[in-house]
A and B are shown apart, each in its own frame.
Chain A
């Protein structure tokens, strides 16, 4: 056991850093550090650069076009990119539907869909949740009825992140009414340009538009877009959720968040000095810093088990719970560091590239909106309550 990096890993980290410096646009990078929202291009231009390099689908096996990295390389890749201010890779293609396709899809489906995901030429969104099916995902109602070589799909998906940027949506649909989820749900890929697909924005607390309702009204989907067997989509669905939970702890960006928070504390004036002189405040930063370290080490332990061929167990739920609490805490402390100047609301500075100047310090405009927005992290990807139910049942046997 050894925490120190081998020389070849150091060289790898340098290579990733050099790549990021060369390919990440300064404007995108600036948005990361100032907490502004990215637009579609910020994500796509960056992801396409990663795709060209063969690094976008970095968790995939070599066989499907992944780089074949070991656990240490993945760890370094994620951390270096976060330090350099890269936007997180949108997970819907490379981390969600991609692995489902190469695990459950036919050769024809792999050939058709994987290249677009690896290159980020095609963007994806996740059509799982519905108004009546949030935590209780199996309660989903969207119906797909087979008619010849097509399915006719009717229903409503909701909370669909980035559906307004999506070329394709992967959906859970019910192909058999009134049966157990294990026997009635299918995993279907739908081209968003198909007639009958309508996207309606949902505006969040901070005024942002990330999520949407997606209405499916007599949408005609070719049967060759079905992944796995009809009525066996629940297996794909759960496989994907386990992967989703693993990536969602966001340790690298929380590490960056702690360091940005310390910079803000050093810049915020307090009684002639700065907030960094206030031990009551800096101790709270230290506390969350240590929580991040514990989380990171826990995540590394899971990854190391996986490297030896083990599968991520239901324990990963604890990582998701802690990861979201930490993100929320960092956002909360950042807002408190800003103090009274967190009160002005400047949507122009958050969502648009305007020439508006910040009302308070540069770091002020996103502070409160980010705090509001980060409440989502304990709700999406399986809420904290649901994750704890999983741990108590699957790990503790309660």
Chain B
């Protein structure tokens, strides 16, 4: 057992820290969030240059041979800066699915340019009725000549406004909510028949509602096997969950640090409010919560490549439960300890709080993953 970072990993961490320090001051982030796109192409180009877009992919896929620990390192720093560039949908989800299920041709056409920073993705899985059930999919793909025709609706598709390609989870067979009978399609974002309603999210990211009206794609649009996408999707989402957990630990570190600083300097009754024991203990609980979150994220990052899907799923759900719990505790406590300042848009605390809250809602909240973990653990 060895839980220390390698020299390269330390360098990666330093580089990511530096990026956040230089490019993601609170005021800078505000500007980026308010810009048309909601993220900066020059930052994306820098990610490509630094090798972050390819770090987690194997060398044969054109990457640099890293893995989940590298993703964890970078995502954690992104959490500290509340970075807005669409790394999760493009690299972790899109790139991840293409790497795990794509053909040689698809990898060449899509993964290689993604690593160079020239292509972005969005993953469309959720529908109005799905809640957190990845198999609750009714968007239909029907055979049309050699290819397929897609019709239906997808919701809260992150990065859809900027994506070049949308990876769509569609039903090709089976009944509602059946894991069997699902297929992934890689669709050109500008394809005829796709209409978009774009919007910002609570935490200043960009997403869309998508309507597919008889969108025609060729046979080569299928990613992986027809009717058999569920295991690919579940694996990719588990990976995304662990990446989100790493982002959340970064958010927690930052919000705790800001709060600690605040209670050391804000004075009431003639003393810094950090002198009041009730706040001291709450601050201690914040740190303990962040520690637990970091531990579970590390454990999940180390188990996410396990060959046994149950080990992987339990690790991802376990970490997500912890992040939900810790994120809520740190977020709510930070706001409370800031008093009125905590509920304004003016300080960074409320922005971290919003992001932590949204992370809990993404890909299943604390309760959902507790149930998933519990079912898997009871079945063993």
Q: Which residues of A contact B (CB under 8 A)?
A: 129, 132, 134-136, 139, 158-159, 202-205, 207, 211, 268-272, 275, 280-281, 335-336, 339-346, 359-361, 368-369, 371-373, 375-376, 378-380, 383-385, 388
Q: Distance (Å) between the CB of A337 and the closest chain B CB?
A: 10
- B214 is an interface residue with CB less than 8 A from chain A: no
Flag if A379 contacts B156 (CB, 8 Å).
Answer: no
Q: Distance (Å) between the CB of A81 and the closest chain B CB?
A: 26
A residues in contact with B136, CB < 8 Å: 271
B residues in contact with A158, CB < 8 Å: 340
- Interface of chain A: mostly helix, strand, loop or mixed: mixed
Contact of B156 among A135, A344, A346 (CB under 8 A): A344
Q: Distance (Å) between the CB of A194 and the closest chain B CB?
A: 25
B residues in contact with A373, CB < 8 Å: 343
From known contacts A202-B344, A271-B177, infer whether A340 and B362 are also in contact, taking CB-CB under 8 Å.
Answer: yes
Residue of A nearest to B282 (CB): A385
From known contacts A269-B128, A281-B367, infer whether A343 and B340 are also in contact, taking CB-CB under 8 Å.
Answer: no
Contact of B340 among A159, A271, A341, A372 (CB under 8 A): A159
Flag if B276 contacts A372 (CB, 8 Å).
Answer: no
Flag if B346 contacts A202 (CB, 8 Å).
Answer: yes
Q: Which of B41-49, B217-225, B349-357 sits within the interface?
A: B349-357
Q: Distance (Å) between the CB of B157 and the closest chain A CB?
A: 11
- B193 is an interface residue with CB less than 8 A from chain A: no
Flag if A359 contacts B197 (CB, 8 Å).
Answer: yes
Contact sample, A vs B, 30 pairs, CB 8 Å cutoff: A134-B339, A135-B273, A135-B339, A136-B270, A139-B268, A202-B346, A203-B345, A204-B344, A207-B345, A269-B131, A280-B367, A339-B131, A340-B132, A340-B155, A340-B362, A343-B202, A343-B203, A343-B361, A344-B156, A344-B202, A359-B197, A359-B199, A360-B128, A368-B358, A369-B202, A372-B354, A373-B343, A379-B336, A380-B340, A384-B336
A residues in contact with B371, CB < 8 Å: 280
Q: With A and B bound together, what is the CA distance between A378 and B354 in angstroms?
A: 18
Flag if B343 contacts A376 (CB, 8 Å).
Answer: yes
Flag if A372 contacts B343 (CB, 8 Å).
Answer: yes
- B170 is an interface residue with CB less than 8 A from chain A: no
Contact of B269 among A136, A268, A269, A378 (CB under 8 A): A136
Q: With A and B bound together, what is the CA distance between A134 and B202 in angstroms?
A: 28
Q: With A and B bound together, what is the CA distance between A342 and B202 in angstroms?
A: 8
Q: Distance (Å) between the CB of A83 and the closest chain B CB?
A: 28
Flag if B345 contacts A385 (CB, 8 Å).
Answer: no
B residues in contact with A281, CB < 8 Å: 367
